[in-house]
Amino acid sequence: MNQLEALRQYTTVVADTGDFELLTQFAPQDATTNPSLVLQAIRDAKYKPLFEQVVDAARGASVERIADRVVVAFGKEILQRIPGRVSSEVDARLSFDTEGSIRKAKEILALYQAQGVNTSRVLIKLASTWEGIQAAKALENEGIHTNLTLLFSLPQAIACANAKVQLISPFVGRIYDWYKKSAGTGWDELAHAGANDPGVRSVSQIFACYKANGIATEIMGASFRNVGQICALAGCDLLTISPKLLAELQASEGPVSRALGTAVTDAAVPPYHQISEQQFRLDLNRDAMATEKLAEGIRQFEADAIALERMILDRIQS
């Protein structure tokens, strides 16, 4: 049994990619995308015809609407290759706009519906800002399920649980990146491996909080840098993994054991409570890593959304 097969015994495997032709190789249950992954796929020659077809068919619409159609086209192709759900992301420029995020989420779902897609298979991805979480709360109240991304801290996870969101995507690799960069030459890779990895510790803490308090929100570890981080979170509800690391897991026969379980000790459980906007912002501000990585992630996704719109304009004007 290879490591990918072993991991499936404890965790639902999700593919983190816009390259939908790779999905049959790894047979994930679900798939996730983000603006960076969609942009990366569109720049691949094999997906250029799909991109051009969508843009040409939508001529006359705004660039913003065409970009939504491109995202939905990739989501539809993904859903044809997996049994479960796809996550499609709201424009990062709406990360601090609750009403705008709600409007955009409904527009995305309407485009899926127009393509004959069962929208119960679509999760709307939103940044884990206060505004994004409140948008998710409103959407969940209407039966529209959400995936809260760019999540780096327990206060973000607690606010998401308060909002009863369907799923959260706590990032592992970006947390690891921050602490490694912060430590500089003093970083000891071996000492920070496995369960001691700062990103793994963050997800483990959230997992303990959720499971001990009966929170139904699904936890999907994301943003991995190596297979060691993935194996250290075996037992998490879901893990979304890049094709490169899926291939490494598939090629390895090494053992994988459950690392996270539903049984946790009281001493290991962080307190769970209702969190106000003021407390959320204060707690997030106290965490330099989470504050910096959240802002950085929004900037990166915004830049990629703008790059996609430029490609659309180039196509329209050619």
* Catalytic residue set: 125
Q: How far apart are CA 138 and CA 140, in angstroms?
A: 6
What 8-state DSSP symbol labels residue 220? E
Which residue, 79, 80, 97, is CA-closest to 88? 79
Q: How far apart are CA 9 and CA 26, in angstroms?
A: 15
User: Tokens at residue 245, please?
Assistant: 């690391």
Q: How far apart are CA 250 and CA 259, in angstroms?
A: 19
DSSP for 64-85, please give it.
HHHHHHHHHHHHHHHHTT-SS-
User: Tokens at residue 200, please?
Assistant: 């793994």
The C-alpha angle with vertex 193 and arms to 233 and 176, in degrees rounded to 5, equals: 80
Q: At what angle do helices 154-162 and 288-317 cross, to 10 degrees?
A: 70
Which residues have a Cβ under 8 Å from the Cβ of 104 and sit 6 or more positions away? 68, 90, 91, 94
Which residue, 133, 108, 109, is CA-closest to 119? 109
Q: How far apart are CA 146 and CA 67, in angstroms?
A: 20
Q: Which helix (H) or strand (E) holds 241?
A: strand 238-241
Q: How far apart are CA 175 and CA 62, in angstroms?
A: 37
Q: Which helix (H) or strand (E) holds 14?
A: strand 12-16
In single-letter form, the type of residue at position 204 comes to S
